[in-house]
Structure 1
Amino acid sequence: MSLENFIPLNQLCTHYKVEMSFFTHLNEFGLIEIETIEESPYIHQDKITDVEKMIRLHVELDINFEGIDTVFNLLEKIHDLQAELTATKNRLRLYED
């Protein structure tokens, strides 16, 4: 497996000043997926934006892991509802024109 799309968790721990257990808990809640490559834990670079949000929620707002899980589930539902609303509006335009 190529490492070019993955970021080592120890590097993220150092950069964001969080413990490795933070990422372990996020993984346990299913919020991130930790890949073990050559016996070292990594996270895919596509998830870094979500990880940064989770760190801010936890560190700056003191939200626990259950709260972070709830926030991300609600954000996902909002995104799905917005997509559904857009699709409905597009279908409605077909009948209006």
Structure 2
Amino acid sequence: MQNKHLIPLPSLCNHYKIEMSFFNGLKDYGLIEVVSVEKTNCIHQDKIADIEKMIRLHQELHLNYEGIDTVFNLLEKIDYLKAELTSAQNKLQRYTND
């Protein structure tokens, strides 16, 4: 992983006005992967959208780490089921067009 694609957690704390303990909790619960670069914890920039969702779930819905994990698991299942449905619809369309 290249360092230019990593974002320091202290910068995220300042930007989102949230305590470092929140990110430590997410890391401890296994919800985010933290990379240490020169003694600074960082996350990959591709995970920012997930981090923003987690922050909103925590702040707006007052969900704890277990609740955030549950929501993300359900969203993952929904994405899987959508892909399965699309695949089934494509297969069905192939048979009905013949």
Give the TM interval when normalised to the shorter protein: over 0.9
Separation of aligned partners in 1, 2:2 and 2:45: 12
Instruction: Give the % identical residues.
Output: 60
Alignment RMSD (CA, Å):
1.0
TM-score of the aligned structures, taking structure 1 as reference length: 0.95
Gaps of 5+ in 2: none
Partner of 2:11: 11
How far 1:34 moved relative to its partner? 0.4
Partner of 2:71: 71
How far 1:31 moved relative to its partner? 1.3
Gaps of 5+ in 1: none
Separation of aligned partners in 1, 2:67 and 2:92: 37
Amino acid at match of 2:55: I
TM-score of the aligned structures, taking structure 2 as reference length: 0.94
1:64-96 CA-to-partner distances (Å, cap 9, x unmatched) read 111000000000000000000000110111110
Greater CA deviation, 42-51 or 20-29? 20-29
Secondary structure, aligned partner of 2:68:
helix
